[in-house]
A and B are shown apart, each in its own frame.
Chain A
Amino acid sequence: MIICEKVSKRFGEKFAVRDVSFRFDKSLAVLGYNGAGKSTLAKLIAGILKPSSGRIEVFGKDPYKCVEVRRKIGIVTHNPMLYRELTVEENLRFFANLFRIEEWDWILDELNLRDKSNKKVLELSRGYLQRVAIARAMISNPHLLILDEAFSSLDLEGREILRKMIRNFEGSILLSTHDLEEAKFCRKFLVLHNGEAAYFGESYDEAVGVLRAHKEGSEG
């Protein structure tokens, strides 16, 4: 169970996330336009950022304070968190070693990265970089997978591979996106607008309605 209670995150005077509350078990889609606070929320739940106020609980513990919980979370953000000077294989081996995982190269086949394994990360295209980032997140067999705009730079093949991985994933998923089609499979939906929760519930149609209403509101 992942619980957020009145979570706020402030950068200076500006609130990136404000008083957001939700809880989910299996899957949550966080929807919102650019600057809504999706990435900040993803990083808060992943334990990368410390909330300014409120409480976050992932599998019963605060992810910011507990490394054991963070080790159960796989996260893909706009930044691949990879070492540019190392090859794909060296990067993945490094993270696998940190998790003490010996059998890890199945992920190369899973993401169709085998022929790129000896290439340096800095030589990869944006799409392949994203695939390696997904591999890094999945290598530890996480219990919670956080995908923040993970589909955005993938080509058709990459998108299909990721969709398949998500379908077969047995843990919890938090999918942060502005692509409504990708969010359809989720069981719960959170719509963020200017850092605040505009909707939280189980209806996809309602979530989309709220999202569109906010877009029209800000345009009108």
Chain B
Amino acid sequence: MRPLAFLELTKKDLKVEVRSKSSINQMVLFAIASAFIFSLSVDAEKFFGQILMIVVLFSSMLSCSATVVREFELETVDGLKHSMSSREIIAGKIISNSLIVFFLVLIITPVCYALFNLSGDFFLLLISLLISSLPISTTVTLLSPLSAFAKGREMLLPAMLFPIIFPVFIPSFKLLGFSYAGIFDFISAMFLLSYTGLIFSLSLILSEHLF
């Protein structure tokens, strides 16, 4: 695997996203709207971790799958397959999608912090949410090619995603909860990073069947 090749793909994906703004706009609007509704309807200060994870999860599903599906729909993936290995393609896609979700987290964390009237450690919360978003963007990218040609892909993706992403929820809630109190839960963070590594490795192994 050539590191420069998959970084080129990442660079290209980010450039396309910045130009089209199709996923980013949709993702940010969805995230802010749902955070706003949650802030009015539940005790947001108590459940902020769960709310943030729901917002990040659904926003990631919208954007990460769109960047992959677009390559299949426009058949640009055929051009990629002529110049890169499947492993390089999936690695590039995971990195670009993770960066797009990072961007979302950077936007919604201060918004939620203000909406939910939070008063804990902001930077620790931001870092914890960035770590928690990693397994989500990686898993959504892994599953997106599988649902690209499915008739009901909007239904199929969440159906495939939830059983795989389920182990991530509890450590994420713990990590976010502790970070609010100013404590960095190292064990949960390590679990989330290891889980991301596991899904990333699985993506590389399965890449031949995905692209």
Contacts and interface: CB of A to CB of B under 8 A. Distances in A.
A1 interface: no
A99 B83 CA distance: 7
A85 B83 contact: no
Contacts of A95: 79, 83
B4 A100 contact: yes
A59 to B, nearest CB: 14
Interface stretch (A71-79, A110-118, A149-157): A71-79
A82 B4 contact: no
A143 to B, nearest CB: 13
Given A48-B81, A67-B84, A73-B82, A83 B12 contact: yes
A84 B19 CA distance: 10
Interface residues of A, number: 27
Contacts of B79: 81-82, 95, 136
Contacts of B84: 67, 98
Contacts of A136: 79
B19 A86 contact: yes
Contacts of B41: none
A140 B84 CA distance: 12
SS class of chain B's interface: helix, strand, loop or mixed?
Answer: helix
A47 interface: yes
A86 B18 CA distance: 10
Contacts of A94: 8, 12
21 contacts: A43-B78, A46-B82, A48-B78, A67-B81, A70-B83, A75-B78, A75-B82, A77-B78, A79-B74, A79-B78, A81-B74, A81-B76, A83-B12, A85-B15, A85-B19, A86-B16, A95-B79, A95-B83, A98-B8, A98-B83, A98-B84
Interface of A: 43, 46-48, 67, 70-71, 73-75, 77, 79, 81-86, 90, 94-95, 97-100, 136, 140
